[in-house]
Structure 1
Amino acid sequence: MPETPEAPPSSSASSRGRWTDEVLEPFRSMGEPVADAAIQAVFANNEVAAVNRILQSLHSNVHLVPSEMPDAVETYLNQTDDWPEWADAEKVRLGQQLFQRYGMQMTLAYFTWSLPCCYAWAKAAKVLTWTGGIDKHVHRRIIETAQFVLDVMAEGGLGPKGFGVRTAQKIRLLHATIRYHVGKDPTWQASEWGTPANQEDHIATLLTLALVPRVLTKLGLDFTREEEDAYFHCWKVIGHFLGIHPTLLPRDLDDAEQLWEAIQQRQVRPSEDGVALTKALVDYLKMRIPGTMMDGIVVTTMRELCSVAVAEAVGLEKTDWTRHLVAPMRLMFSLSDEAQDQADFAAKMSASLSRKLLEGLHSSETGGSRVTFRIPQSLQESWNLAGAEDKKAS
């Protein structure tokens, strides 16, 4: 592993607001007490098989019934499914409506901006490659992330016993399991890399989802401040369900953008892990796009959305002829935005790439095993994907 380069010059302190290194650094050694306690109790009671069933239920996207769960996990689920007092139900509804309307374009951004940003954080990328099997790991992470986003952003996903709440709770347990196992590995350098799946990495990942509307303006979409605020608030509520420390949840959108800038300055560094993860991601997305002529559009879109620092950190290859498609793509996104109608021809064209990726996930396999991927009915109808489930079953 090459020596980690020195940090790039810091921009003005005002761009980071209150998020100084002194504020953020302690969160690198912090896990999540509630989920950690549940997992520790399960292992102490030698209920490993039950943990495996819980994590498998995340892959297969099914609910667990109480009889299948250890007491500690059932208690955890009952303790962590309430909305926070500060949650605004109307903003959550507006945020989900925005996703219902622009979710195809947002999904494209998750694949081509959110994940590369995660891989650009050298310390966070370390835990993602720790267990080996990078290709299998990246494929499963793509599917799980996409499923999680669809579950929490679908109509009713964050309601009582909603699919989104349950998926967030299970991901929270998955992170606790990672901390339990990797944290016991004597070769894990906690003093240098932090606690595996720590709080800073969690809020950073959440921001790659919560700030997507801002990123999509690079492709011609335009959102009102009210829409961006509602979308961010929706993800702030989701962050609560994921067990992110209340102190780390930004107060508002401006605060979130300052936190994002601080984390980028702190964590974006070139690494072999980030390069390997991104290569696996690019290869996977190319595989999901029919044919080979448009393979270059994956890297082209990543380079258009990601910062130069992120692109360099993850070793993105150079763009090919598909870079000339960026302007038409931006025009199509803009037209679909003006049309305000996902049934419009331009909207369908602008979302065609993400549609192919979503449809490809239905036939996904990781490590030779089939992965179940479910698009909520309300989103299938909004995105004209109503036949996707039938395609998967055939």
Structure 2
Amino acid sequence: MSMNESSRGRWSDELLEPFRSMGEPLADAAIQSVFASNEVEAVNRILQSLQSNVQVVPAEMPDAVETFLNQTDDWPEWADPEKVRLGQRLFARYGMQMTLAYFTWSLPCCYSWEKAAKVLTWTGGIDKHVHRRIIETAQFVLDVMAEGGLEPKGFGVRTAQKIRLLHGTIRYHVGRDPKWRASEWGTPANQEDHVATLLTLALVPSVLTRLGLDFTRDEEEAYFHCWRVVGHFLGIHPTLLPRDLDDAHQLWAAIQARQVRPSQDGVVLTRALVDYLKMRMPGELMDGVTVTVMRELCSEAVSDAVGLEKTDWTRFLVGPMRWMFSLADEAQDQSGFAAKVSASLSRKLLEGLHSSETGGGRVTFRIPQSLQESWKLEPAAVAEAK
């Protein structure tokens, strides 16, 4: 989709710019109350449980956080339960390939936004923090897209609420750093960056058509609707939540035109991501495939902004890969050759993630039972990390 004005629909700079200085009132109020009451350790326990997510509601939480969790776990009145279930069923069917797209399209796109990338590198310790964020993102996606994940008290709802609190904590700390130039970069973890990140997850089906998969319009719309509900739980401003799939693509075009710029932060983040994926996908051949798939899925502007390498030999892979992916053009299930290849890559990645160790401590990565069954994961691959 071109980045001209017509592709942006109603999403003008005048409409979007105010959202760069906007946080999220409920989460911000809860976090401010916690810090004012010196209950920081309790919040740290809540945020640390993002990885394990064993306790649905952490015990001994501050009153302000308990109030927040109770205020923000209701479905919006516009939500369509049948569309949500269809979107989740689509993930159960194609989740392996979608997971691959999250790591090779969604995250590089996030890193290509110059201003948003600054927040992700602000606290230093790039490798440690990026790897942890990769795991948290994967866990979040699995939690909200698993069967029942968005039902009352579902894992997905709780994970979204925790991420909302995490963003409030980032705004509290980074926003108070005198070196943070809010007038130039906006509020840390602001509303525009939030909805942009949501779209990198909600628009994955249209990206996967480049890997030879095929989706009906109803399937794409249901998948988007599912993520629109997730956006509600994440506290995205109602004005910013696209009305439908076409509106979402127009908002995506507008944000890409506004935010994609080359930056050293984006380069560093993407290098850490590529290194992580190489580490999780065994074999030297996979090293080249990882970057090649990124180049195939991401726009030229995104690839250049994050400094994706162009190696001599990987360019020879692109032609054969496109031919291979095209073999599955008419396959709407996992019987296509390209679908099987991407599922295999994703399986290796999930198996590696499940037993990841970050910063010296093991991170528990929980694949919901319904998805284990749908994806026919080997028991050894999803055994609990000891």
Shorter-chain TM band: over 0.9
d(CA) in 2 for partners of 1:370 and 1:352?
24
In the alignment, is residue 105 of structure 1 matched against residue 97 of structure 2?
yes
The runs of 5 or more residues in structure 1 that have no matched partner are 1-9
- Cα distance, 1:367 vs structure 2: 1.1
- Cα distance, 1:368 vs structure 2: 1.1
| Secondary structure of 2:377 counterpart | coil
Aligned pairs (5 A) from 1:1-394: 11-65=3-57, 67-326=59-318, 329-330=321-322, 338=330, 340-342=332-334, 347-388=339-380, 391-393=383-385
The TM-score with structure 2 as length reference comes to 0.95
Q: Percent identity?
A: 84
- Cα distance, 1:113 vs structure 2: 0.3
- State whether residues 42 and 62 of structure 2, in contact with CA within 8 Å, keep that contact through their aligned partners in structure 1: yes
- Cα distance, 1:320 vs structure 2: 4.7
- Cα distance, 1:326 vs structure 2: 4.5
d(CA) in 2 for partners of 1:11 and 1:232?
21
Q: Name whichever of 164-173 and 357-366 sits farther off.
A: 357-366
- Cα distance, 1:393 vs structure 2: 3.7
Change (3 A) 1:162 1:331: farther
Aligned residues: 385
- Cα distance, 1:220 vs structure 2: 1.0
- State whether residues 220 and 334 of structure 1, in contact with CA within 8 Å, keep that contact through their aligned partners in structure 2: yes
Change (3 A) 1:375 1:330: farther
Change (3 A) 1:18 1:343: closer
- State whether residues 42 and 60 of structure 2, in contact with CA within 8 Å, keep that contact through their aligned partners in structure 1: yes
- Cα distance, 1:215 vs structure 2: 0.6
d(CA) in 1 for partners of 2:370 and 2:314?
33
Change (3 A) 1:72 1:328: same
d(CA) in 2 for partners of 1:217 and 1:347?
10
d(CA) in 2 for partners of 1:319 and 1:209?
28
Give 1:235's aligned amino acid. Answer: W
Q: Deviations over 1:149-189 (max 9, x none)?
A: 00000000000100000000000000000000111111100
- State whether residues 300 and 320 of structure 1, in contact with CA within 8 Å, keep that contact through their aligned partners in structure 2: no
d(CA) in 1 for partners of 2:139 and 2:69?
19
d(CA) in 2 for partners of 1:180 and 1:88?
34
The TM-score with structure 1 as length reference comes to 0.93
- State whether residues 16 and 261 of structure 1, in contact with CA within 8 Å, keep that contact through their aligned partners in structure 2: yes
- Cα distance, 1:391 vs structure 2: 4.5
Change (3 A) 1:71 1:21: same
d(CA) in 2 for partners of 1:191 and 1:108?
36
Q: Name whichever of 349-358 and 33-42 sits farther off.
A: 349-358
Q: Deviations over 1:236-261 (max 9, x none)?
A: 00000000000000011111000000
- State whether residues 135 and 365 of structure 2, in contact with CA within 8 Å, keep that contact through their aligned partners in structure 1: yes
- Cα distance, 1:346 vs structure 2: 6.7
| Secondary structure of 2:134 counterpart | helix
Change (3 A) 1:119 1:60: same
- State whether residues 138 and 280 of structure 1, in contact with CA within 8 Å, keep that contact through their aligned partners in structure 2: yes
Q: Which residue of 2 aligns with 1:5?
A: none
d(CA) in 2 for partners of 1:375 and 1:297?
25
Give 1:198's aligned amino acid. Answer: N
- Cα distance, 1:199 vs structure 2: 0.1
d(CA) in 2 for partners of 1:49 and 1:390?
31
Give 2:181's aligned amino acid. Answer: Q
- Cα distance, 1:358 vs structure 2: 0.6
Q: Deviations over 1:101-143 (max 9, x none)?
A: 1111110000000000000000000000000011111101110
How well do the aligned residues superpose, as a CA RMSD in angstroms?
A: 1.9
| Secondary structure of 2:175 counterpart | helix
d(CA) in 2 for partners of 1:90 and 1:379?
19
d(CA) in 2 for partners of 1:311 and 1:345?
26
